[in-house]
Amino acid sequence: MVVTAEPTQPDWAIEINGLVESSYNLSYTEILHMPSTIIEAKLYCVDFPDQPVYEGSWKGVQLKKILEKAVLKQGVAKLAFFAGNGFTTDLHLEDALSPDVLIAYELNGRSIEGAKGLPGNRLVVPGQWGYKWIAGIVRIEAVAHDFLGVWESRGYPDKALISQPEPAQKKGSSDPGLYLALVIIILMPSLAVFFYPRQRHRGLRADNSVHLTTESTIRQLQSHQRMPQASRPGPLKPTPSA
C-alpha cells in the first residue's frame, strides 16, 4: 500500500515537454499520490562552501519516475529546468536519471514553501552545487542540444560536482590566489628584515626556559678563544633552566 500525503498549500503544476512522447502537467496533488523517496542531503552554495544552506531529509519523487511517464524520445541529451521567476538550470541525462535526484516537496517533514508564481518544490541533486538545486520549478524540457542554465552560461561548471573547489574563472578575470602569492613574494625580504633581528634578541623560549641568544653565544666563543690554554673552560653547555 502506498501512503500519500495530503496537500498543505495551494495546488501547482510542473509542465513536462520537449522531446517526449507524451507531454503532460504534473500537479502538486498528483505528485503527492506518487511513490515517494526520502534522501539525506546537504545543499551547498559556491559563495559559502563550508556551510550548508539547507540540510536534512528531502522527500519527493524521483525525477526518473516523472520522466518515465512522459517517455523520452531518442536523442535526448539534457533536461532543462525553468523556475517561475525566470531562473534556469540543466542536468545531463545520465545525472537526471540518478535514483538520488528528486523533485522534492518536503524538507525535514515540512512542506517546502512556495511564493507567488513559485511552486513549493525543489530539485534535489546530491553532490552538486546549489545552483543545480533549482526551486519553484514550473517546466521541465527534454532537449537534444547543449542547453545551459543561468549560471552555467556565465562560466560555472556544467557538471557542478562539489569536488570542484570553485566555479570556473571567467576569461579576463584574475585569480585572487595568484595575486596573494605575488604579494607575499614581493614582501618576503621586508618581512625577513623585520622579524630576524627580533628573533635573535629573544632570550626566553615559549616554555620560559633560558637559552643562549645568537649574540651572547658569539661573545662567549670570542672570549673562549682569547683565554690561555690552561684557563680555558670545557665545551659550552646549555644554560640550566630558570
pLDDT, tens digit, for every residue of 7-57? 456 689 999 999 999 999 999 999 999 999 999 999 999 998 999 999 999
Residue 177 CA to residue 174 CA, distance in Å, equals 9
Residue 78 CA to residue 91 CA, distance in Å, equals 6
Grade residue 116 by pLDDT with cuts at 50, 70 and 90: confident
pLDDT above 70 for 125: yes
Average pLDDT of the residues in 101-130? 95
pLDDT above 50 for 119: yes
Structure confidence by residue, pLDDT tens digits, 71-82: 999 999 999 999
Residue 152 CA to residue 168 CA, distance in Å, equals 10
CATH for the 13-154 domain, from 3.60.20.30, 3.90.420.10, 3.30.499.10, 1.20.1440.230 = 3.90.420.10
pLDDT above 50 for 87: yes
Specify the pTM: 0.65
Q: Which of 2-11, 105-114, 128-137, 195-204 has the lowest mean pLDDT?
A: 195-204
Grade residue 120 by pLDDT with cuts at 50, 70 and 90: very high
Residue 63 CA to residue 133 CA, distance in Å, equals 13
Grid coordinates of 120: 513549493
Residue 122 CA to residue 31 CA, distance in Å, equals 13
CA distances from 211 to 91, 148, 203, 220, 223 (A): 65, 65, 6, 13, 18
pLDDT above 50 for 99: yes
How high is the pLDDT of residue 186? Answer: 63
Q: What are phi and psi of 158, to 5 degrees?
A: -70, -35
User: Three-class SS of residue 36?
Assistant: coil
Are 43 and 55 in contact by the 8 Å Cβ rule? The answer is yes
* H-type alpha helices, 9-62: 28-32
Structure confidence by residue, pLDDT tens digits, 132-158: 999 999 999 999 999 999 999 999 999
CA distances from 32 to 10, 46, 110, 241 (A): 13, 31, 14, 76
Structure confidence by residue, pLDDT tens digits, 196-233: 444 443 333 333 323 333 344 334 434 444 444 444 44
The tally of CA atoms less than 13 A away on the side-chain side of residue 152 is 24
Grade residue 179 by pLDDT with cuts at 50, 70 and 90: low
Residue 89 CA to residue 235 CA, distance in Å, equals 75
| Domain map (residue ranges) of the chain | 13-154, 176-231
Q: Which range, 55-69, 107-121, 187-201, has the best average confidence (pLDDT)?
A: 55-69
How high is the pLDDT of residue 203? Answer: 34
Are 120 and 11 in contact by the 8 Å Cβ rule? The answer is no
Q: 17, exposed or middle or buried, with CB in 10 Å at 0-12, 13-18, 19+?
A: middle
Chain length of the chain:
242
Grid coordinates of 73: 524520445
